[in-house]
Every structure is written in structure tokens, then in C-alpha cells.
Amino acid sequence: MNRPELAIEARTVHKSFRDKQTGKTEDALKSVDLQIPMGSLTALVGPDGAGKTTLLRLCAGLMRPDQGELKVLGIDVAQHPQPVQDRISYMPQRFGLYEDLSVQENLDLYADLHGVPAADRIERYRRLLHMTDLARFTERPAGKLSGGMKQKLGLACTLVRSPDLLLLDEPTVGVDPLSRRELWQIIQQLVEEESLSVVVSTAYLDEASRCDEVYVLHEGELLAQGTPDLLCERALGCCFTAVPGKGESPRQLQSRLIDHPDLIVDAVPHGGEVRFVTQANVTQEALEPLLRGARTQAVPPQLEDGFMVLLRKRLGAASPDVDSLERQRSIAGPPDEVVIEVRDLVRTFGDFTAVASTSFDVRRGEIFGLLGPNGAGKTTTFRMLCGLLPSSSGFLQVAGVNLRTARASARRRIGYVSQKFSLYGNLTVLENLRFFGGAYGLHGKRLSARIVQVMEQFDLSGQARTRSGELPGGFKQRLAMAAGLIHEPEILFLDEPTSGADPLARRAFWRRITALAEGGTTIIITTHFMEEAEYCDRIMIQDAGKRLAMGTPQQVRELVSTADPAQGRLSMEDTFIGIVEHSRNGSAGHSEVNP
């Protein structure tokens, strides 16, 4: 058999889906052309709804394209799915592990399914278990593994036979930074040692930058392709860091920069500085009024910078109008007042301790980030703060009361946006807002006025009569925010509000959040994008229920990178990994910052 040069070759591949409820047809892939060579590590990058999963499923022969030609390993996969499936391995986003079977039994099961000869198994298992570091847990039921370990086991089961091509659909979704790093080590090892062709989809740009070739998908279209370096080059000469002038916080500088989309493509806070990308051909003089004396320094571009240039070109600016959010000072009470007080909070489920004796305070107008790997206890902490879950012991006060036991009316002071932007999908945008407004005791003119206001603030105008279930992801998130803020709460709880959002939408989201904080709203937020911790005034890192570190992002960073200032600032991700690893390795007496 002659070996084809291309692992995947797509010519004007088109796929659309029909929504059964509305009867509307949505294009998942619009005329996509791809040439992925053999033996390479390729990333498909894009936010939710970009078409990554559809493309992978087409390649795996699980669906047929509506139009166009798709060849996998030189075979037309729509005509002959079986010969393709015999030679590829596909790991879907939610891999089908049998939770009640042990690690070993799961491996055996998949080896049987793929007809792996018994003679080959011993060596293959040994290698896979070694690579995934699961050798110690072969007897443990898969259901009892952590999220990261489950993904590694899924990958091992996918690899029980040696495929020619490996398709991985967002293998790192919902996986903490530590496990994420380990998974990528395994993938890279596979590519090097077995000269395997791997196509992996991801929403993380840092992961894409590890690949040979990157394909950027957005709403079913291929925006760009090339090596990570080539994509970076789009922002070449436009990337800078700025140290804010005296009396100014990085967040204020960042807000000012990102509010000028004509000059600035992107700006993010980064370790006490602001990292920004200018439009092409913007002079230093033009920037001066924005920088207000901040010292700038040119830096090499990263993949994310190139990606932002691309997205901005494609989608235009996404700078929200935040004036009214900033002016929204509905809060009575002195600034810096402690509004959330937590002392020795404990939560156990049976003999499992989800949160172990945790204490912290949050002050008015602060953005407080809860960070941690999956199962670290951040969601449990979050739910206890909101009054959704009783604590096992300890003291807890939000806005002066314990929301679990306080009168229902006390809950009027908080707003809550859940992980899945939970809204009533059958109801229109207007009906949702009317319901949540009414639930918080608004009615009549006051309610109508607030609905108009939040619809403007969150860019929902023109969508009033759309069923919220039909809204695209970004709109859903904004509607959830609007619903959570309709009653102008003092404290806003946000549970992973940016997961699945594209970087542009995330910038707009954070711009609104910083404006709210500016206006005096206290914000508690969980996130798994570690870089977003930079927007927070203070963060708390949890692991295995314990508080590992707390302080400003800079203070937390200094816990890890005490030495070697020459290396530049540690990324938040590395900081996080450093702190969690440090604690897991059982080092003695971890020092903490207590501001």
C-alpha cells in the first residue's frame, strides 16, 4: 500500500445542521479546505461553535459532509468509513469510560473491541500506563479517578492499538493546568516516538503554540493556517508591555487602552504591567495620551497576539459601552468595608473533605478570584457562599448575613451567574429578563427601565424577541450577565463565566467586570483561564480543599519565582502549577501572603 502524503485532505467541505425546534439550518462548516500532512502535530483552534468537533467527526467517518470531498489517509471517508476507522483512533470530548470498571478492565475492554492481539497487549499496556502515570491505579474504578486522570485513561484506551492518525477533540477541556501539561507531554512524546499524526482541537492558544501547524476556525470558516510562528508574525512589531504611571492600577491603564480599538488591538493586565498590541503603523505619539506616562517596552509577539489581530480584522472591535456600568453606584456603605467574611469554613461529603478550614475576607469593590484544579473545592466554596449548599462547620457571612439561613429578601443583594449561563431556553430574551427582574421584586416602570438599560449595557438590543435557547454562545453569556445584574446587586457571583468564549468576547466580558468593580460592585469569580486571574484584585488558590495561596496576583506569583528575575514574569499558569506542585510534593511550611 502506498503511503499517502496527506493525513487529511478537505476540499470545500460543507456541513450544516437543522435545529429541530426552530427548523432553522445552521452552518457548522462553510467550505473548508485543509491539507494536513502525515507525521505532524496539528491544532484546530477556535471558540465554542467554531466547527472543530464537526470537522473531527467528519474525519472519523461518523457523519458525512453535505458537500465537498474529504479524504482521510487517502481514502474518501464519506464513501468508505470502515477502512478509515480501522486505521484511526478518535477520542471524543466526553470519552466513554466505564466508570464502574477498573482502569485495567477499561483498557482490556477497549483492547478487545479493537481486536488487539493478546501478545501485543502486555508491552502496549506497560508503555501506556507508564506514559500516563496510571500504573499505580490499575485496580481503581475509573469513576473514582480525578478529571485529569480520567482524560489520561481515555487517551490510553484510545491508544490501545497503534493508529496511523489520532484525532483528539478538546482533550484538555475541564482539566486543570497540571493535568493539561501532563497530557500535552504524552501527546508530544507520541508524535516523536511513534511518528504518529495527531490532530487535536483546543480552545487554548498556548496549547496550539506547541503544534507544528495551526488551523484557526471561527464560526465554521477557516480564518488562517500556518505554523505558530507565522501566525505570531501578524502582530510583529506591535506588541508592548507598559508599566502604569504613579497612582494608577494596571487595570485602569488596561481599561483605557482597550477602550480605544482604533489604536489598540488588545490589552491585558500581566503581572503588574499591561501587555498590549497596537494596530499596525500606530506611532508612539498617538499612544501617549492613552499611556499617560507609562513606560513601554517592545516584546516579541505570542500566538494569542497574532490570533487577536486576526479576530479583530474579521470581527471588528468588541469594546462594550461601559459608562453606565461604571456609574452604577447603587451601593450604600463605605468602600473597603468587608462584605464577605469566611472563617474556618469546612464542608465534608461523607468522609471526603471538599473544603478544609478555609478563611478569607472580600472587601467592597474587589474582584476576588477563586482558582484551583477540578475538585479543588472552589465550586463547593462558591456554592456555600451563595447559600446553595450548607457548610459543615465554620462561620460565613455575605453582605452581613448567611444566605442559607437569612430571610429570602437578603438574597436581593447578590447576583449569580452560573457556569452554564442558565436561562430558560424556551423563553425569549425579554421574558427571561422580565422573569428575573420580577423575581428580584422589580415591576412596572422600574422593571421596564432596567430591562432597557441592561439590554443596552450588554449589547442585547434587537434580540428581545429571540428565544434565549437560539442565541449564540456569546449572547447567552451576556444575557446571563444581564439577568444576574438586573437588580443592581452589591455582590456578583460568577462561576466560570468565560469558558467556551472566544478571546474577543472574553476581553469585552472583563471590560464590563472591571467597570462594575470600579462602580463599587464586589465580584467573586471562578475561572480556569489562569491568565484571567490577572484582572482580579486578589486571588485564592485551592487544592484538595485547602487554601494554598492568597493575595494579589503579583504576591502569589512571588511565592513561586523568588529567584531568577531575569527570566521575566512567570505566567499565571506556571505560577499556579508551581504552587499546586509545591503543595502536593508535601513540602514543609508553605508561606502565605496575608494582605
**CB of 150 or CB of 467, closer to another protein:** 467
**CB of 110 or CB of 475, closer to another protein:** 475
Q: What phi and psi values does residue 340 have, to the nearest 5 degrees?
A: -130, 125
Q: Which residues does residue 362 pair with via DSSP β-bridges, in sequence order?
A: 340
Dihedral angle sign, alpha carbons of residues 140, 143, 147, 153: positive
From 277, 341, 363, select the one nearest 313 (Cα to Cα). 277
CB of 204 to another protein, least distance (A): 24
345/484 Cα distance (integer angstroms) = 26
On whether the CB atoms of residues 300 and 239 are closer than 8 A, the answer is yes
CB of 354 to another protein, least distance (A): 11
CB of 232 to another protein, least distance (A): 38
**For the chain, counts of helices (H) and of strands (E):** 19, 23
Residue written as grid cell 489517509: 73
From 105, 96, 502, 491, select the one nearest 315 (Cα to Cα). 502
**CB of 402 or CB of 419, closer to another protein:** 419
What b/e readout covers 35-49, taking b as 16+ CB neighbours within 10 angstroms?
ebebebbbbbbbbbb
The number of C-alpha atoms within 13 Å of 29 and in the hemisphere containing its C-beta is 28
On whether the CB atoms of residues 13 and 70 are closer than 8 A, the answer is yes
**CB of 350 or CB of 462, closer to another protein:** 350
CB of 435 to another protein, least distance (A): 4
CB of 269 to another protein, least distance (A): 29
**CB of 102 or CB of 419, closer to another protein:** 419
Burial of 113 (0-12, 13-18, 19+ CB in 10 A): exposed
**CB of 362 or CB of 530, closer to another protein:** 362
**CB of 184 or CB of 493, closer to another protein:** 493
200/41 Cα distance (integer angstroms) = 8
**CB of 50 or CB of 417, closer to another protein:** 417
CB of 487 to another protein, least distance (A): 9
**CB of 81 or CB of 424, closer to another protein:** 424
Which residue type does 423 have? L
Residues in the chain: 595
**CB of 245 or CB of 425, closer to another protein:** 425
On whether the CB atoms of residues 409 and 386 are closer than 8 A, the answer is no
Interface ranges with another protein (CB under 8 A): 21, 349, 383, 386-389, 403, 408-412, 414, 416, 418-420, 422-427, 431, 434-436, 438-441, 443, 467, 483, 493
CB of 424 to another protein, least distance (A): 6
**CB of 284 or CB of 405, closer to another protein:** 405
From 130, 88, 527, 482, select the one nearest 122 (Cα to Cα). 130
CB of 397 to another protein, least distance (A): 16
CB of 441 to another protein, least distance (A): 6
Q: Is 397 helix (H, G, I), strand (E, B) or coil?
A: strand
**CB of 256 or CB of 347, closer to another protein:** 347
Which residue type does 134 have? L
If one counts every other C-beta atom within 10 angstroms of the C-beta of residue 356, the result is 16
- Residue 427 has which C-alpha cell? 423563553
CB of 489 to another protein, least distance (A): 10
Q: What phi and psi values does residue 344 have, to the nearest 5 degrees?
A: 50, 45
CB of 547 to another protein, least distance (A): 23
User: What is the DSSP secondary structure assignment for residue 102, as one 8-state letter?
Assistant: B
On whether the CB atoms of residues 340 and 398 are closer than 8 A, the answer is yes
304/205 Cα distance (integer angstroms) = 6
**CB of 286 or CB of 406, closer to another protein:** 406
Enumerate residues 6+ apart whose C-beta is below 8 A from 213.
36, 37, 40, 41, 42, 43, 225, 226, 227
Q: What phi and psi values does residue 252 have, to the nearest 5 degrees?
A: -65, -45
Start-to-end Cα distance in the chain: 67
CB of 524 to another protein, least distance (A): 13
CB of 2 to another protein, least distance (A): 49
Q: Is 363 helix (H, G, I), strand (E, B) or coil?
A: strand
